[in-house]
Amino acid sequence: MTGLVRDLNSRPAWVGLGAIAAVGLTHLLDYGAFDLKYRLFDANRVESWSHILDAAALAAGTAVCVAGARRTEKRSGARRAWAITATVLALFVLDEASGLHSRIGDLHNGKLLYAPILVVLAYCIWRLTRDGRHVGQVRAAAALLVCAYAIHVLDPHRIARTLGWPHESWAFQVVVALKEGTELAGVLLALLALTAAAAAAAAHGRPLAAPQQASVRTTSSRSRRTLSGR
Residue 3 predicted with pLDDT over 50 = no
For the beta carbon of residue 27, count every other beta carbon within 10 angstroms: 26
Query: What was the pLDDT predicted at 157?
Result: 92
Residue 139 CA to chain centroid, in angstroms?
12
**Structurally, how many domains does the chain consist of?**
1
Q: What is the CA radius of gyration of the chain?
A: 23
| CA atoms in the 13 A half-sphere facing the CB of 92 | 25
Per-residue pLDDT of 47-62, as tens digits, reads 999 999 999 999 999 9
Reported as a single tens digit per residue, the pLDDT across 141-161 is 999 999 999 999 999 999 999
Separation between Cα atoms, residue 177 and residue 225, nearest integer Å: 73
* Closest by Cα among 186, 82, 63 to 124: 82
Please list, in sequence order, all residues whose beta carbon lies within 8 angstroms of the beta carbon of residue 3, skipping any fewer than 6 positions away: 136
CA nearest to 78, candidates 110, 124, 37: 124
Alpha-carbon distances of 27 from 192, 224, 225, rounded to whole Å:
25, 73, 75
Question: Over 90: is that where the pLDDT of 213 sits?
Answer: no
Cα→Cα distances 137→1, 106, 146, Å = 16, 33, 14
Residue 32: Cβ-neighbour burial (10 angstroms; 0-12, 13-18, 19+): exposed
Q: What is the pTM of this model?
A: 0.83
Domain limits for position 26:
2-229
- Asked if 125 and 190 touch (Cβ cutoff 8 Å), the reply is yes
With beta carbons less than 8 A apart as the criterion, state whether 137 and 192 touch: yes
